[in-house]
Amino acid sequence: MVKRVKVLSLALATMFLGASQAGAQQSGEPAYRTIMYSDATYTTEVGYIYPECTLRGVQYHLVGTYTYFQVDEFVGICGPGGWEPL
């Protein structure tokens, strides 16, 4: 009987600890800044796309010229209350 109680206690503790860790994870949407380059040498920057965290999620804005030569940079998490700490 004592062994069953210990096993049940361990199972419940594991369940609650797992739930608290899941709740601690960030609930937002990842946001990225994209730098556009003129060609495959990636030396001349011709534009960029930057994120804005709004009530509807991440909104992206293009400044300059769009090209297929791009590099993405992670900038943060956009959550329900705005930018979330990393």
- This prediction has a pTM of 0.66
In this structure, is residue 58 part of a structural domain?
A: yes
In this structure, is residue 17 part of a structural domain?
A: no
In this structure, is residue 75 part of a structural domain?
A: yes
Structural domain tally of the chain? 1
In this structure, is residue 69 part of a structural domain?
A: yes
In this structure, is residue 10 part of a structural domain?
A: no
Domain membership of residue 68 as a residue range: 26-84
Phi-psi region of 42 (alpha: psi -120 to 50; beta: other; left: phi over 0): left
| Tens place of pLDDT per residue across the chain (86 aa) | 545 444 445 444 444 444 444 445 558 999 999 999 999 999 999 999 999 999 989 999 999 999 999 999 999 999 999 999 87
